[in-house]
A and B are shown apart, each in its own frame.
Chain A
Amino acid sequence: MTFVGRDIVSIKDLSKEEILHVLDRAEDMVPAARGTEQNTLMQGKIMASLFFEPSTRTRLSFETAMKRLGGGVVGFAQPDATSLKKGETLADTIRTAEQYCDIIAMRHPQEGSARLAAEFAQVPVINGGDGAGHHPTQCLLDLFTIRKEKGSISDNRVALIGDLKYGRTVHSLAYALSLFQADIVFIAPQQLQMPSEVVEECQEMGARISFETQLETVIDDLDVLYVTRIQKERFPDPEEYNKVVGIYKVDLPLLEMAKEDVIVMHPLPRVYEIDSQVDGRPQAAYFRQAFNGVPVRMALISLVLGGIK
């Protein structure tokens, strides 16, 4: 298994063994990610951080990851700042940017953009989200979080909750959890349920799948709650939206009904779907999850650039 020079566009670019390897290496990175240890693995290397669409967590954690490895970062956080405004193609921007860096981390609003960039770039490309497409580093950090918090990925009953139809992170996560034969419950209103292609793929991989429309009916049997934001725009009728938001809200009374060691995850930003009173509880894993983006990305960058094996 070698990662050197590889593009990471989709979680499907990695086998189960490779995913586990990334998670193991990420574990080694934790002290340096916290800043309690110094790491110079990527000294002299430069990452271009090309964000054609705004992002807080993904961009900051990519850049922090590279800096914690002793590397440098160049790039932009807004497309306005680039020649894209002047009509430059993505292919040209990529072929220019790679003249100044050793690796590219990118986010772009169009599906397939990272695949295209990877075709044009000689340096490795890591996809930080391409429209409604893939977001493999989010998926890896989600898996890392589950394993770290619960001790394993496979022995859990994981609920994916909220907008399962349009949410890109939940599609990749459902796939990845299926690789590990997890027990998955899709909890969503009918109109936002998981697309059948995704469900079929998960079943073919041997995952145990079930569906619910209510969170309360299964809450006492869950190990992981993976909550996602339901966007108002998905509902033509605001009243319908308000009803749905209420049903899937994670708050203290709901936590009372859950297993004591349940964990609550969220790719963030959250709006109403997790009550802020939950934040202080040990079950609230979402900020730890956000931190985990750093060691996971450190591991991936180091693997792809050959700093570690």
Chain B
Amino acid sequence: MKELKVQPIKNGTVIDHITPGAALKVLKILDIPEQERDSIVSVVMHVEGKTGKKDIVKIENRELRAEEVDKIALIAPDATINIIRNYEVAEKHRVGIPDEIVGIVTCGNPNCISNAREPVTPRFVVKQRKPLRIQCAYCERELKDISAGLL
């Protein structure tokens, strides 16, 4: 049997290969503490994996859909989503950068209207995936420092 870094769960989702240190941001982006009040959620950080350190998040009794999880690709591009059914990995997906990134990062341009007191959610268009380049849908500036723009 495989060695499990986290307690085995019967059903749920394991987000694996999260960039080390990014697990809490992942939870925040997915709004897990709010959305999954009835699920047991465990977080393991800085686990030694086959290819270096990583973080892992485990959510019991909830199967996250790939599109919802794609949002985290911005901060954890190597993450995998494992759907666990009856203790086994039933499905595995890699996160993919969506075409549009909505409500995760704010624009770095202080004179951008999306940073003013307006009823809009910051939105970015993905111009290039590797390396990731995103452009504000309002002022069209490229966001140079993505992690600094995280909401």
Residues on A lying within 8 angstroms of B by beta carbon are: 10, 89-91, 108-113, 115-116, 119, 130-133, 197
Contacting residues, chain B, for A133 (C-beta < 8 A) = 139-140
Binary interface encoding of chain B residues 109-121 relative to chain A, with 1 for a CB under 8 A from any of its CBs, else 0: 1011110111110
Bound CA–CA A90/B107 (angstroms)? 18
Instruction: Give the nearest-CB partner of B119 in chain A.
Output: A91
Bound CA–CA A116/B141 (angstroms)? 15
A59: shortest Cβ distance to chain B, in Å? 20
| Chain B 104-143 interface residues, beta-carbon cutoff 8 Å to A | 107, 109, 111-114, 116-120, 136-142
B112/A112 in contact, CB under 8 A: yes
From known contacts A90-B113, A132-B111, infer whether A111 and B118 are also in contact, taking CB-CB under 8 Å.
Answer: no
Residues on B lying within 8 angstroms of A by beta carbon are: 107, 109, 111-114, 116-120, 136-142
Contacting residues, chain A, for B120 (C-beta < 8 A) = 91, 116, 119
13 contacts between A and B (CB under 8 A): A90-B116, A91-B119, A109-B111, A110-B112, A111-B109, A111-B111, A111-B113, A111-B141, A115-B113, A115-B138, A116-B113, A116-B114, A133-B139
B149: shortest Cβ distance to chain A, in Å? 15
A120: shortest Cβ distance to chain B, in Å? 9
A89/B119 in contact, CB under 8 A: yes
Bound CA–CA A290/B98 (angstroms)? 44
Bound CA–CA A133/B118 (angstroms)? 18
Bound CA–CA A49/B63 (angstroms)? 52
Q: Which of B111, B138, B140 contacts A116 (CB 8 A)?
A: B138
Q: Which of B117, B119, B139, B142 contacts A112 (CB 8 A)?
A: B139
From known contacts A111-B112, A112-B113, infer whether A91 and B118 are also in contact, taking CB-CB under 8 Å.
Answer: yes
A127: shortest Cβ distance to chain B, in Å? 12
